[in-house]
Amino acid sequence: MSIRERMSGNEAIATAMRQINPDVFAMFPITPSTEIPQYFAQYVADGRVDTEFICVESEHSSLSACLGAEAAGCRAVTATSSAGLSYMNEVLYVAGSLRLPVVLAVACRALTGPININHDYSDSLAARDSGFIQLYAENNQEVYDNYLMAHRIAEHPDVRLPLMVCEDGFITSHAIENIELEEDALVRAFVGQYRPENYLLKKENPLAVGPYGVSAYYMEARVAQAQAMKNAKRVILEVAADFEAHFGRSYSFFESYRMEDAEIAMVLMGSSAGTAKACVDELRESGVKAGLIKLRVFRPFPGEELAEALKSCKAVAVLDKSEGFSAMGGPLFAETASACINLDKRPKMIEIVYGLGGRDFTVDAARSVYERLERIASTGEIGEVYTHMGQRE
């Protein structure tokens, strides 16, 4: 039976880690993810886990230590944010290419330039092509649930890829919400033990990890890695179905909110979805056929499924909480527009970059987006495709 509790997103992640009891936690602190290793260090001190808790000198080292542990056959975890994730950048790609299923908790925070400690997705989305699976959450319950599913997905023999569990810095990482936790024994039974097929310390099958990829083999390794990311789509749904069977909460690639007959829709990620849903409900009461897609899985990107969900809309706004500096918008817009390119009948689509560095997103702001979509749907005139919202003039 679920246990009703109140906790922050950081504590929810640390609790999930404690219940899973990983073999290695290599840590280096950075705001706003620091609480995760702080909570976990207390679990270690209290004897509630038997994890090897390693304090290292940098984020680059924390992920490197996790890779060494995973290569040796251990289940390894860590956490970071912002510049810490950027400092890991080299090792992110190594983790993906070596097919080592580290689970990395990311409290998403703006990247430096100027210095800012508040939330947007510029850190995690800058790492979108590193080979990590990426899961995003609207609230603390989803943060916790995503983490419970993470190891099952990453460690699946058809996948074997590292995975980021992403939460919104301060918004979900520090805000305390009602949450349903699962019993420790049930969590461990659901996640299971990590049993890699091959690892460095397996004496029956000596192997090398991370060899030099000469031209005759490099591309084959990359294609195999790309196939593993494709396989992850199936595995994500399989694990979600098993999670629902065990714990009763349902997940997919994204949540479709009031999309059954929607003529205008918004696509976005994370905690902003709660605000946008309130706006959708108000618009529905006044007869506006508004809907919303909240993306949960960014990597692998569910392009076919998203295009199917949007194909009947007249106008769609994609909201990016990360600036892509492409002069065309952010990553979510690029992926969504690409997914819809081969639809026989495509919705008119616009891109709005918003919320950078923790800038507020309100119901009124969401309403202004839907009002713009109504005008596009009625006139067919898009106007400027790529705009920013919420900044001072």
Half-sphere exposure of 345 (CA within 13 A, CB side): 6
11 vs 40: CA distance, rounded Å? 9
Cis-peptide, bond into residue 32, ω within 30° of zero: yes
Which CATH code, of 1.10.340.30, 3.40.50.920, 1.10.274.10, 3.40.50.280, is assigned to 254-389? 3.40.50.920
Q: Which two tokens stand for residue 334?
A: 């690029």
Question: For the residues 9-31, what does the mean pLDDT come to?
Answer: 98
Query: Would strands 133-136 and 163-168 be described as parallel, antiparallel, or unpaired?
Result: parallel
33 vs 80: CA distance, rounded Å? 6
Q: How confident is the model at residue 367 (pLDDT cuts 50, 70, 90)?
A: very high
Among residues 138, 36, 120, which one has the least CA distance to residue 78?
36
19 touches 184 (CB < 8 A): yes
144 vs 111: CA distance, rounded Å? 25
167 touches 107 (CB < 8 A): yes
Handedness of CA 141, 104, 88, 338 (dihedral sign): negative
Handedness of CA 332, 333, 339, 340 (dihedral sign): positive
pTM exceeding 0.85: yes
Question: For the residues 182-200, what does the mean pLDDT come to?
Answer: 96
Query: 33-84, pLDDT tens digit by residue?
Result: 999 999 999 999 999 999 999 999 999 999 999 999 999 999 999 999 999 9
- Domain spans of the chain? 3-247, 254-389
Q: Where are the beta strands (DSSP E) in 89-196?
A: 103-108, 133-136, 163-168, 176-181
Name residues whose C-beta falls within 8 Å of residue 320's C-beta, 6 or more positions apart in sequence: 121, 329, 330, 331, 332, 333, 351, 352, 353, 354
Q: How far is CA 166 from the centre of its chain?
A: 4
Q: What DSSP character marks residue 26? A: E
Mean pLDDT, the chain, integer:
97
In what helix (H) or strand (E) does residue 381 lie, and over which residues does it extend? none
40 touches 89 (CB < 8 A): no
Report which residue type is found at 308.
E
Which SS3 state, helix, strand or coil, does residue 315 take? strand
pLDDT above 90 as % of the chain: 96
Q: Which two tokens stand for residue 134?
A: 């990426």
Query: 247-258, pLDDT tens digit by residue?
Result: 999 999 999 999
For position 369, what pLDDT does the model report? Answer: 98
For position 164, what pLDDT does the model report? Answer: 98
Burial class of residue 363, CB neighbours in 10 A (0-12, 13-18, 19+) = middle
Please state, as a whole number, how many other Cβ atoms lie within 10 Å of the Cβ of residue 255. Answer: 17
The fourth-level CATH superfamily of domain 3-247 is Thiamin diphosphate (ThDP)-binding fold, Pyr/PP domains (3.40.50.970)
Among residues 134, 144, 53, which one has the least CA distance to residue 96?
134
Asked if 3-247 and 254-389 have one fold, the answer is yes
247 vs 322: CA distance, rounded Å? 33
Q: How confident is the model at residue 211 (pLDDT cuts 50, 70, 90)?
A: confident
